Amino acid sequence: MHRFHPQPNPIIVRELRTRMRGGRPYLILSLFLVLLALTGVGVYQLMLQQTRIGVAVLSPQVGQALFKGLAFVELLLIVVLAPALTSGAVSGEREQLTYDMLLATPLQPGQLLWGKLIAALSYLLLLIFAAVPVFSVMLIFGGVDPRSLVKAVILLFATTITFGAIGLCASTLFRRTVWATAVTYGVVLLVVGGSLTLASVWGQFSSPPGQQPPPYLLYLNPFSALFAITGLAPPIDPAMSFMGYADPLGALPFIGMLAQGVIAYGPNGAVVVPIYRATFLAYPLLTVLFGWLSAHLILPYKRWHPRWSDLVFLLLVLSLLAVGYITQEWWLIAAPVQPGGWAG
């Protein structure tokens, strides 16, 4: 009998071998880049339009607008693509009748899950990296804080992994990919659209009416988090209109809709609530929880029997909770009373 030799995850090797076969991956990549480039051109044209109507537009403002536009479009594509790439990962094996053959090998369920997640997300990560040259255009104009850029990239990666983990979990739960995909997008819609809808109507149902939505409502919404990262403090002095929140000069369509719950109005004016800090903590926690669920659901039998891997998951959850507890001063935003202290 053969000896076991440690080597790269076979699932990753197989997926990487086949992922880029045929014309479709290149077509998606090309469309993705074209869409991003068109977004960049569109944003630039919108800024030019401002100058035509007599508004003075500074070069840094063009850079900021490009940053916001491109980051939002890239996040939108990730939110749409990540669940699609993972929701068929395990159910697809069941449907094409290869699942039993995999389970009959010594491949561990964890290896299978890890391999599927990495393989599926590697393509998305490729898309993110491929978009770097498009993003670099904004550096010509300046105006983007490098820290904001880093935070935006972290958010993109975190969203990719978390939304991918949601899809993977659904894929282990359902035998049919169509169900797994439907449920995954249902969850995504709930996280993104549900929280925004709730935030937008919060004031009408709050007591007394007109209250601002609590920030925790939007902790899991990646768009709100990105809005908080890319947003600037709204003008205290209306004369300095170019410092307008999130969307200088109001040039970018729809972006303002994401202000709900992120722009808070206190006695000293409006501030951007840095809810992305909670998002940065919540996403790893969610990923670990979905990973734990998937690791049990993928087992052929004795699904809920305690396993050693549960201890690892428990330690991870406890570590993240401990980090959350220690850093609560940093991420836990109580109420928008004092502007200035939260923006970061």
Partner 1 sequence: MTPAIETTNLTRRYGGTVALSNLNLTVEQGSIFGFIGPNGAGKTTTLRLLAGLLEPTGGTIRLMGQLLRPGGAQRLVGYMPDFFGVYDDLRVWEYLDFFARCYGLDGATRKRTVDELLALVDLSPKRNAFVQSLSRGMQQRLCLAHALVHNPPVLLLDEPASGLDPRARVELRELLRALREMGKTVLLSSHILSELAEVCTEIGIIESGQIVVSGSVDDVRRQLQQGSKLRIRVLRDLDTAETVLRKLANAPASSGLPYVRSVQLDLVDPRALVIELEQTDDAEQAALLTYLIGQGIAISEFRVQAENLEELFLRLTTTSA
Token pair for residue 15?
């997926």
Tell me which long-range contacts 224-227 makes (C-beta under 8 A, separation of at least 24): 224/195, 224/196, 224/199, 224/258, 224/260, 224/261, 224/262, 224/275, 224/279, 225/155, 225/275, 225/276, 225/279, 226/71, 226/72, 226/75, 226/152, 226/155, 226/258, 226/276, 227/255, 227/258, 227/259, 227/262
Determine the interface stretch with partner 1 among 104-112, 130-138, 157-165, 326-334 (rule: CB under 8 A).
104-112
Go through 70-79 and write b for each residue having 16 or more CB atoms within 10 A of its CB, e for each that does not.
bbbbbbbbbb
Determine the interface stretch with partner 1 among 13-21, 38-46, 138-146, 263-271 (rule: CB under 8 A).
13-21
CA-based R_g, the chain, Å: 22
Determine the interface stretch with partner 1 among 37-45, 67-75, 92-100, 329-337 (rule: CB under 8 A).
92-100
Q: Considering the complex, what minimum distance in angstroms separates the CB of residue 315 from partner 1?
A: 23
Q: For residue 198, which of 184, 185, 212 has the smallest C-alpha distance?
A: 212
- Identify the residue among 1, 53, 132, 334 touching partner 1 (CB under 8 A): 1
How many residues make contact with partner 1 (CB under 8 A)? 30
- Identify the residue among 45, 51, 98, 328 touching partner 1 (CB under 8 A): 98
Nearer to partner 1, 108 or 319 (CB): 108
- Identify the residue among 50, 73, 105, 195 touching partner 1 (CB under 8 A): 105
Nearer to partner 1, 7 or 136 (CB): 7
Contact status: 96 vs partner 1 (CB under 8 A): yes
Q: Considering the complex, what minimum distance in angstroms separates the CB of residue 23 from partner 1?
A: 13
Backbone angles phi, psi at 231, to 5 degrees: -80, 145
Nearer to partner 1, 300 or 341 (CB): 300
Contact 308, 314 (CB under 8 A): no
Q: For residue 58, which of 242, 240, 235, 234 has the smallest C-alpha distance?
A: 242
Distances (CA, A) of 110 to 42, 87, 154: 44, 17, 25
- Identify the residue among 107, 236, 289, 332 touching partner 1 (CB under 8 A): 107
Residue in this structure with the two tokens 């249902």, named with its chain if needed: 186
Q: Considering the complex, what minimum distance in angstroms separates the CB of residue 21 from partner 1?
A: 6
Token pair for residue 275?
């809810």
Binding mask 299-338 for partner 1 (x = CB under 8 A): -xxx------------------------------------
The number of C-alpha atoms within 13 Å of 260 and in the hemisphere containing its C-beta is: 22
CA dihedral 310, 312, 313, 319 (to 10 degrees): 140
Binding mask 256-295 for partner 1 (x = CB under 8 A): ----------------------------------------
Nearer to partner 1, 45 or 98 (CB): 98
Nearer to partner 1, 289 or 307 (CB): 307
Q: For binding to partner 1 (CB under 8 A), which residues are involved? A: 1-8, 10, 13-14, 17-18, 21-22, 93, 96-98, 100-107, 300-302
